[in-house]
Amino acid sequence: MALLTREEFYKRLGQALRNAREERGLSREQLAEQLKQIPVDPERHLRQVAALSVIAGQIRRQKGLSRKQVAERANLPVAFVRDMEAGKIWNPETYSIYCLAYGLRTAYSTFEKRVDALSRTELDASDRPVRRKKKHTPLPQSHPTLLLEPDSTEEEKP
């Protein structure tokens, strides 16, 4: 898929937002009122910027791409890619993030989900991720037995 123009990107984004609003049965006014009720959280914004810079650099290095390669593919200045990875861009335009994801050869939705997940990661007092042990959940009884029981009627193999 080719890189979308700014106009085409925002047109598609607007259509997606309109569809989501209509699925919820909200008018524009109702949605605007609900959005006004959401408090602005500066810490959340900082965490989002930090996560964006970390994920961008991580993906670029994993794919063995240079900043110049990403910038050329994304039609962005190399300085933007460098500054984004360094966390120096505090309020990037959504289209620029889309272009960055494109330059990283990553789907925009996947990129945004990874950024969001990292920004929500709980940190300890030293700003290290808190690792929680996963709770073991037994299989529901309705599932077939995955391992044969000792008193199984199935023939044993030599």
The reported pLDDT for the residue numbered 137 is: 62
The reported pLDDT for the residue numbered 40 is: 86
State how far the Cα of 99 lies from the Cα of 105, in Å rounded to an integer: 10
Assign residue 140 a region (left: φ > 0; alpha: ψ between -120 and 50; beta: otherwise): beta
pLDDT tens string for the chain (158 positions)? 899 999 999 999 999 999 999 999 999 999 999 989 999 889 888 999 999 999 999 999 999 999 999 999 999 999 999 999 999 999 999 999 999 999 999 999 999 999 999 998 887 777 677 777 666 666 555 444 444 444 444 444 44
Specify the pTM.
Answer: 0.75
State how far the Cα of 72 lies from the Cα of 66, in Å rounded to an integer: 10
Dihedrals phi, psi of 101, to nearest 5 degrees: -60, -40
The reported pLDDT for the residue numbered 138 is: 61
For the chain, what are the domain ranges? Answer: 11-40, 41-125
**Do residues 73 and 48 make contact, with C-beta atoms less than 8 angstroms apart?**
no
The reported pLDDT for the residue numbered 94 is: 95
Token pair for 94:
């959504």
**Do residues 52 and 92 make contact, with C-beta atoms less than 8 angstroms apart?**
yes
The reported pLDDT for the residue numbered 18 is: 95
State how far the Cα of 59 lies from the Cα of 51, in Å rounded to an integer: 12
**Do residues 122 and 129 make contact, with C-beta atoms less than 8 angstroms apart?**
yes
Report the length, in residues, of the chain: 158
From the list 79, 117, 75, 65, the residue with the least C-alpha distance to 100 is: 75
**Do residues 119 and 51 make contact, with C-beta atoms less than 8 angstroms apart?**
yes
Partners of residue 129 on adjacent β-strands:
123
41-125 carries CATH number 1.10.260.40? yes
